[in-house]
């Protein structure tokens, strides 16, 4: 073989190896963590802060605002294989394309999707030396800047759907995007929570990859979230709610705007403008709290692999006055992972559509024991759950058989407290709605003796008026 030939072959092999390695990594958090491990292995002994700076530099997540808080990441181009740096520079920067594909986000094991940039910035902020015992820039680097822009455009969200939840590559938004998508909100919340966590530890954390693994990939035991550690991604909403002081977030948002202006060399805001901004921001934070803290995490139909509705759905006239509690009976076991709960949803939908001949899965919503609520027919469409009562109430079912045992406390709290207040706040249920067991209005043992006795002690529980 002449020399030109083998050189070309070698070049081709290198390109193929690079492309192959990049293709090996999907947009799943587990794969991103794998990439972080490779960065760590490539520079043994590096502190998490150094690894974060390398990631920030390779990903090009850098502007005057970020530098103001975290400094300049440049410490020479890090040693990294071309395929690894290609993956990082595609996986991390956040962008929404014209066809509503959201980039810079990964699917996590709990079934939610998070933006990586605010997550990594939050952890980096938490590792900075503290000023007067406080982490200065946590909110600014994770949520404040975009939440402020979202305040001006009047909207938060939406969530989206992956092309394939086993090997995710493309995430498409369900509606036209706002400035702050749900994945950015989740990434920001996780950035704040993990930033707080690392800043509170007296020792430097182990590795970044271990921190992410413990947070995102915890397996649940049979008691579900009741026995799970406190700082894990599935508890994101409740942890963030415990932490959030709306007035502080409000102040941080306004400060972010001021800082941004001064970095751009623009004059300070007039007092009147600042006052108006405060008012808008306050409203947006209310919406933020409702959407991301009062409401439970709801896994949309596309994410559990729902078949389309057959025929034309009938709209409900909102707000409704009832919530009917069910158990699924079959499947008879609580589901503890997003994968298992999704498979249960698909099997129930198959049964309802193919064997019962209904248009769709009958329930409005279904509670797993994995920390999620699954969207059945949802808020707007009439269900097929409680014969003769489907137009006046939502049907909410717990996966499992609750004749003699109860769902986890956590799963019951999601329905009793969060789903209900979410529905009231969103105008879907009247504030004085009545909660009943399926058996109160239909001749059935559903939702099982144990669960029925339990819900008789819940607020909003009501006897049937004779
Ligand atoms: C998702 O990707 C996996 C792995 O590439 C593949 O085996 C599976 O068939 C895909 N699923 C769908 C629904 O396309
Ligand atoms: C049902 O609701 C959807 C979504 O709100 C709306 O687009 C549609 O026009 C409604 N259909 C009827 C028949 O009211
Ligand atoms: C309720 O169902 C049970 C068994 O399915 C039946 O024996 C009973 O007669 C039914 N009661 C009424 C009031 O229909």
- How many whole angstroms from 321 Cα to the centroid of ligand 2? 20
Q: What is the pLDDT of residue 11?
A: 54
Inter-residue contact 410 to 371 (CB < 8 Å): yes
Q: How far is the CA of 443 from the centre of ligand 3 (A)?
A: 6
Residue 216's Cβ-count burial label (10 Å; 0-12, 13-18, 19+) is buried
Residue 233 has pLDDT above 80, yes or no: yes
- Cα(38)–Cα(43) distance, integer angstroms: 9
Question: Same domain, yes or no, for 426 and 288?
Answer: no
Coil, helix or strand at residue 371: coil
The pLDDT score that the predictor gives to residue 203 is 76
When pLDDT is cut at 50, 70 and 90, the band that residue 153 belongs to is low
66 and 84 within one domain: yes
380 pocket-lining for ligand 2 (C-beta < 6 Å): yes
CA–CA separation, 81 and 403 (whole Å): 57
Query: Within 13 Å, how many C-alpha atoms sit on residue 277's CB side?
Result: 19
Ligand 1 pocket, residue 166 CB under 6 Å: yes
167 lines ligand 1 (CB under 6 A): yes
Residue 98 has phi, psi (to 5 degrees) of -65, -25
Ligand 1: does its nearest atom lie under 6 Å from the Cβ of 169?
Answer: no
> What does the CA dihedral 48, 49, 51, 52 come to, rounded to 10 degrees?
120
Mean pLDDT of the chain: 90
Domain boundary among 237, 267, 294: 294
290 and 308 share a domain?
A: no
Give, for ligand 2, the residue of 311, 313, 315, 319 to mutate: max count of ligand atoms closer than 8 Å to Cβ.
315
Residues 270 and 337 in one domain: no
With 80 as the cut, is the pLDDT of residue 404 above it? Answer: yes
Decide if 412 is inside a domain: yes
6 within some domain: no
**388 burial class (0-12, 13-18, 19+ CB within 10 angstroms)?**
exposed
CA of 164 to the centre of ligand 1 (A): 6
Instruction: Using the 3D structure, point to which of 263, 294, 325 is the last residue of a domain.
Output: 294
Is 70 exceeded by the pLDDT of residue 299?
yes
Assigned token pair, 37? 């491990």
Q: Give, rounded to a whole angstrom, the gap between the first and last alpha carbons of the chain.
A: 94
**Are 421 and 308 part of one and the same domain?**
yes
Any ligand 2 atom below 6 A from CB of 315: yes
- Beta bridge pairs of residue 338: none
Report how far ligand 2's centroid is from the alpha carbon of 311 (Å): 14
Within-domain flag for 376? yes
Least confident window among 103-112, 185-194, 254-263, 337-346: 254-263
Are 102 and 218 found together in one domain?
yes
Q: Which residues pair with 172 in a beta bridge?
A: 101, 161
Q: Final residue of a domain: which of 294, 320, 354?
A: 294
Is 164's C-beta closer than 6 angstroms to any atom of ligand 1? yes
Are residues 442 and 357 part of one domain? Answer: yes
Distance 446 CA to ligand 3 centre (A): 13
Residues 370/224, Cβ–Cβ less than 8 Å? yes
Considering the domain architecture, whether residues 242 and 364 belong to the same structural domain is answered as: no
What is the CA(312)–ligand 1 centre distance, in A?
29
Residues 210 and 108 in one domain: yes
Q: How confident is the model at residue 4 (pLDDT cuts 50, 70, 90)?
A: low
23 pLDDT more than 60: no
At residue 1, the pLDDT reads: 42
Same domain, 346 and 216: no
Q: What is the pLDDT of residues 444-460, one digit of tens each?
A: 999 999 999 999 999 99
Domain annotation covers residue 184: yes
Determine whether 339 is exposed, middle or buried from the number of CB atoms within 10 Å of its CB (0-12, 13-18, 19+).
middle
Instruction: Provide the domain count of the chain.
Output: 2
- Which of helix, strand or coil describes residue 321? strand
Regarding whether 225 and 337 lie in a shared domain, the answer is no
Query: Who contacts 465 (Cβ-Cβ below 8 Å, separation ≥6)?
Result: none
What CATH number should be reported for the domain holding residue 372?
A: 3.40.80.10
Asked if pLDDT for residue 2 goes beyond 50, the answer is no
Distance between CA 60 and CA 73 in Å, rounded? 10
Which pLDDT score, from 0 to 100, does residue 179 have? 81
Q: Is residue 8 part of a domain?
A: no
Helix, strand, coil percent values for the chain (each to nearest 5): 50, 10, 40
Q: Which atom of ligand 1 is nearest to the CA of 167?
A: 2
Higher pLDDT: 130 or 347? It is 347
Atom of ligand 1 nearest to the CA of 305: 13
Residue 466 domain flag = no
Q: Which domain holds residue 247?
A: 21-294
Q: How far is it, in rounded angstroms, from Cα 46 to Cα 41?
A: 9
202 pLDDT tier (thresholds 50, 70, 90): confident
The answer as to whether 405 is a domain residue is yes
Distance 444 CA to ligand 3 centre (A): 8
Q: What is the pLDDT of residue 208?
A: 96
* 103 and 245 in a common domain: yes
Q: Quote the DSSP letter at residue 459.
A: T
Q: Whose CA is nearest to atom 1 of ligand 2?
A: 315
Comparing 120-124, 184-188, 269-273, 350-354, the range with the smallest average pLDDT is 269-273
- Closest Cα to atom 6, ligand 2: which residue? 315
pTM of the model: 0.91
> Counting ligands in written order, which one lies closest to the CA of residue 445?
3
Whether residue 463 is contained in a domain is answered as no
């Amino acid at each position: 073989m002449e020399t030109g030939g083998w050189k070309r072959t070698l070049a081709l092999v290198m390109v193929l190896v690079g492309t192959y390695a990049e293709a090996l990594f999907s947009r799943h958090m587990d794969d991103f963590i794998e990439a972080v491990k490779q960065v760590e292995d490539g520079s043994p002994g590096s502190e998490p802060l150094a690894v974060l700076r390398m990631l920030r530099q390779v990903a090009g997540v850098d502007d005057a605002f970020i530098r103001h808080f975290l400094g300049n990441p440049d410490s020479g181009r890090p040693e990294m294989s071309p395929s690894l740096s290609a993956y990082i520079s595609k996986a991390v920067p956040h962008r929404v394309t014209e066809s509503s594909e959201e980039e810079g986000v990964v699917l996590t094991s709990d079934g939610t999707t998070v933006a990586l940039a605010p997550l990594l910035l939050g952890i980096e902020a938490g590792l900075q030396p503290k000023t007067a015992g406080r982490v200065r820039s946590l909110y600014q680097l994770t949520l404040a800047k975009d939440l402020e822009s979202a305040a001006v455009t009047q909207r938060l969200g939406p969530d989206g759907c992956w092309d394939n939840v086993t090997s995710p590559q493309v995430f498409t938004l369900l509606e036209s995007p706002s400035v702050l998508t749900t994945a950015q909100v989740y990434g920001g919340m996780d950035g704040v929570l993990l930033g707080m966590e690392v800043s509170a530890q007296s020792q430097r954390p182990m590795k970044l990859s271990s921190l992410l693994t413990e947070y995102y990939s915890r397996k649940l035991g049979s008691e579900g979230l009741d026995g799970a550690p406190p700082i894990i991604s599935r508890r994101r909403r409740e942890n963030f709610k415990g932490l959030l002081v709306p007035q502080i977030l409000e102040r941080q948002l306004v400060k972010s705007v001021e800082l941004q202006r001064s970095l751009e060399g623009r004059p300070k805001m007039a007092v009147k403008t600042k006052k108006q901004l405060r008012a808008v921001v306050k409203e947006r934070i209310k919406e933020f709290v409702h959407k991301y803290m009062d409401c439970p995490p709801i896994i949309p139909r596309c994410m559990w692999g729902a078949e389309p509705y057959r025929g034309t759905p009938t709209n409900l006239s909102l707000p409704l006055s009832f919530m009917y509690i069910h158990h699924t009976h079959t499947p008879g076991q609580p589901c503890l992972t997003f994968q298992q709960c999704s498979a249960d949803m698909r099997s129930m939908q198959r049964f309802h559509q193919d064997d019962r001949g209904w248009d769709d899965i009958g329930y409005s919503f279904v509670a797993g024991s994995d920390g999620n609520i699954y969207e059945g027919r949802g808020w707007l469409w009439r269900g097929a759950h409680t014969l003769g009562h489907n137009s006046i109430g939502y049907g909410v079912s717990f996966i499992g058989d609750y004749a003699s045992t109860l769902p986890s406390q956590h799963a019951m709290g999601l329905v009793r407290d969060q789903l209900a207040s979410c529905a009231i706040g969103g105008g879907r249920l009247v504030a004085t709605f009545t909660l009943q067991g399926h058996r109160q209005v239909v001749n059935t043992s559903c939702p099982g003796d144990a669960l029925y006795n339990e819900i008789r002690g819940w607020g909003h529980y009501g006897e049937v008026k004779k």
